Structure 1
Amino acid sequence: MHTFALAGCGRISKNHVDTLLELEKEGRAKLVSCCDPVPERACAVAERTGCQPFPSMESMLEAVKCDVVSICTPSGLHPAHVETAARYGRHALSEKPAGTSLSSVDRAINACDEKGVRYFVVKQNRFNKTIALLRRALEAGRFGRLYLLSSNVYWTRPQDYYDQAKWRGTWEFDGGALSNQASHYVDMMQWMGGAVESVQAFSATLARRIEAEDTITVNLKYRSGALGSINVTNLTYPKNLEGSITLLGEKGTVRIGGVALNKIEQWQFDAPHEIDGEVDDANTNPSSVYGFGHVPFYRHVLDVLDGKAEPLLTGREGRKTVEIIQAAYESARTGRAVQILGRNSL
């Protein structure tokens, strides 16, 4: 059984705690410690799970042995906390995004390389049944040449969401709608479309009192010649409406929608295939935009640690999303398209 420590006991940590409690029942993982600068948060997790609470990551790692540190701190702190885990010889599992700057993510990657520890980045939507089925169709060549990819993230984050924590909506620790709410969708677009060559974006802060954007449109040009677009807003009235991805190719069209990539709305190809019979069973009805992907993601991590699987979501893979987001913000700021292929790549 692999042991885990939890760094950060805020909003997203519940998904990790729930997952680890389920995996403990399977005899595969156990949460042994947690930390948060707000003592009440750490104590609440400790009371629920029986783990040991601490006020800081350093005090936790010095006092309690663990195999993996699950990092659920503000986005801008993710890379530094990965470095801390590596310094103590622990594997790091970071929530999305990997960070808010490429340079900090690169330092985290190098730190893990130097210490010989694993660096995982949470991309739980890749484990949605709908997305897994789409990926199988793509790898089977059913689309032929891809022409156009698009993703819409029409969600709602009211002002009181940002007011709950000073770091939210800041450039240093969070970024805006693209970096926080839509980073999983940026990952989907590069995972399905392949290497992105250039990015052009327009952004605006229309209704929220934050540093970063609450609305953004991003255009992508892929190395393959395909084009893509990502539309994101946190201003949808009155509630979350859509989290979708659409792939249009010479031999196929697929649209996966719902609130969180949970429903196959279009599935059309030029020829039948055995996986077509799995379409209806792939649809789910999650209670939140987080979906059901954390448990299979953690199972994948455990399989990697047990030597049963090759890692799919490393720090370097998570870096690709950060590079696209950083390029989009640079484009929105300068008004120019930004070339990203090969820039600062490790």
Structure 2
Amino acid sequence: MKHGFGIIGAGAIAEVHARAIDTIMDAELVGVYDHDPDKTIAFSTKFRCKAYESAEKLCNDDRIEIVNICTPSGKHLEPALTAINAGKGCVIEKPLEITLERCDRIINAAIERNVMVSGIFPMRFSRVNIELKKAIDEGRFGKLVMGDAYIKWYRSAEYYSDVRWRSLLNTSGGGAVMNQGIHSIDLLRWFMGKVDSVCAFTGLVGHENLEVEDVATATVKFANGAMGVIEASTAVHPGFFRRIEILGTRGSAIIEEEKLIAWNFDEERDSDRIIREKYSGNNQSGGGVSDPKAISDIGHLRQLLDIIQSIDKGLPPPVDAIEAKKAVELVLAIYASASNKRIVYL
């Protein structure tokens, strides 16, 4: 029996979800709802699914088991609660929400209703990132010394003006850090562990008339004693692949998008040569460095497959709501440090 999916929100990221769902044999996209009726109809026509008149009607359809929340970042809570209260599993596009209080309301509702909720972080399901995480867990890096994340992208003025919520603080929660950098921030925390403290600066340098930042830098200290930097921007022309660097006393790895730049350990294994050969080719997608639509749906596909498998086995998803909240917590710490001009301790 196929797992029925519904999508709330019919913007660009919803199409990534729809393509991923359509690729899964055990999944079916039943329908879509957006507050804009024209967008709802256009989306339903394109992906051959039902157009609903309200989020409530979508969530109350017995054919739908899982609801994917693809609304603007600061408008995830309300449709998520509608889905959870209807007893539906919930997959929420990043970020989980834009404040910790709103994240907690989702988490508490899911616990109360005993409903599966997963945050979307598809980079965790990249094959090369899985190899890196495995090497860290095996202790191959020795003591972790530094962990860095660089997200130096370009977004045009039209990117913000054409979709107004992206430029507004109350609907986006932030700019280059919250909406572009959060994938890499989640990945860095997954690799390096809990962040103990952060010191950050943010600014609006390359754009005008935005309520959100287009550049940010942060120095972080991890609970294990390691340190690192996070740099994020949407004002860097022409835009570059996001980069993660994990550096330890016995090994180091550098990844640009899904391309392995460095993979070196003091104790070389036969598998290391295979890993370098397998992941040192060109990136298969544009990575969203200058075009937000130039992203592959393979990461979403892999994560949705994992979610379905978890449901079938009666297990929680690997990125549940509590786990997804952690990246939001770090993003908000970066903003608090920059705003208050002080070190923030988590």
TM-score for both structures, normalised by structure 1: 0.93
| Aligned counterpart for 1:270 among listed residues 248, 266, 269 | 266
The equivalences for 1:196-215 within 5 A come to 196-208=195-207, 209-215=209-215
Per the alignment, residue 234 of structure 2 pairs with: 234
- Partner Cα separation in structure 1 for residue 271 and residue 223 of structure 2: 28
Moved more, 305-314 or 139-148: 305-314
| Structure 1 match to 2:93 | 95
Per the alignment, residue 9 of structure 1 pairs with: 10
Could you tell me which residue of structure 2 aligns to residue 48 of structure 1? 46
Which aligned pairs between 1:145-164 and structure 2 lie closer than 5 A? 145-164=143-162
Q: 2:40 aligned with 1:22, yes or no? A: no
- Aligned match of 1:297 in 261, 280, 303? 303
1:253 aligned to 2:252?
yes
* 271-280 or 319-328, larger mean C-alpha shift: 271-280
Give CA-to-partner distance per residue, 1:60-83, whole Å, 9 cap, x none: 223554110001100011122221
The CA deviation at 1:46 is: 1.2
- Corresponding position of 2:102: 104
Q: Give distance in 2, aligned partners of 1:65 and 1:86.
A: 15
1:217 corresponds to which letter in structure 2?
Answer: T
CA contact (8 A) 1:154 1:243 kept: yes
SS of match in other structure, 1:200: strand
Residue in 2 that maps onto 1:176: 175
Deviation at 1:309, TM superposition (A): 5.4
Aligned residue number for residue 130 of structure 1: 128
Q: Distance in 2 between matches of 1:69 and 1:82?
A: 8
Counterpart in the other structure of 2:333: 327
Instruction: Tell me the number of residue pairs that the alignment of Structure 1 and Structure 2 aligns.
Output: 333
Q: Secondary structure at the match of 1:17?
A: helix
Distance in 2, matches of 1:273 and 1:76, equals 46
Opposite residue 21 of structure 1, the aligned amino acid is D
For residue 323 of structure 1, report the CA deviation from its aligned partner: 0.4
> Does residue 336 of structure 1 match 2:342?
yes
* Separation of aligned partners in 1, 2:112 and 2:270: 45
Contact 1:80-1:104 at 8 Å conserved across structures? no
Unaligned runs of 5+ in 1: 341-346
Distance (whole Å) between structure 2 residues aligned to residue 137 and residue 38 of structure 1 = 46
Displacement over 6 Å in runs of 4+: none
Q: Identify if the C-alpha distance between structure 1 residues 308 and 130 changes in structure 2 by more than 3 Å, giving closer, same or farther.
A: farther
Say if 1:236 and 1:193 are closer, same or farther in 2 by CA, change over 3 A: same
Aligned to 1:59: 57
Offset at residue 115 of structure 1 (A): 0.6
1:35-69 CA-to-partner distances (Å, cap 9, x unmatched) read 01122221122112321112431232235541100
Q: Which amino acid aligns with 1:244?
A: R
Q: Distance in 2 between matches of 1:90 and 1:60?
A: 10
User: SS of the residue aligned with 2:132?
Assistant: helix
TM-score, scaled relative to structure 2: 0.93
Q: Which region of structure 1 is more displaced relative to structure 2, 270-279 or 182-191?
A: 270-279
Partners in 2 of 1:139 and 1:54 — Cα distance?
45
Correspondence for 1:343: none
AA paired with 2:221?
K
Between 1:37-46 and 1:181-190, the stretch displaced more is: 37-46
CA displacement at 1:170 relative to structure 2: 1.8
Contact persistence 1:262–1:286 (CA under 8 A): no
Comparing both structures, which one devotes a greater share of its residues to helix?
2
Matched letter for residue 179 of structure 2: N
Query: Shift of residue 308 of structure 1?
Result: 6.8
Are 2:31 and 2:44, in contact at CA under 8 Å, matched by a contact in 1?
yes
Deviation at 1:136, TM superposition (A): 1.3
Give, in whole Å, the separation in 1 of the partners of 2:333 and 2:271.
Answer: 36
Structure-2 separation of matches of 1:86 and 1:198:
34
1:68–1:91 contact (8 Å) kept in structure 2 = yes
> Identical aligned pairs, as a percentage?
30
Match of 2:33 among 10, 26, 35: 35
After superposing the two structures, state which structure 1 stretch, 50-59 or 128-137, moved more.
50-59
Amino acid across the alignment from 1:235: A
What is the letter of the counterpart of residue 325 of structure 1?
Answer: V
RMSD: 1.4
Instruction: Give SS of 1:73's match.
Output: coil
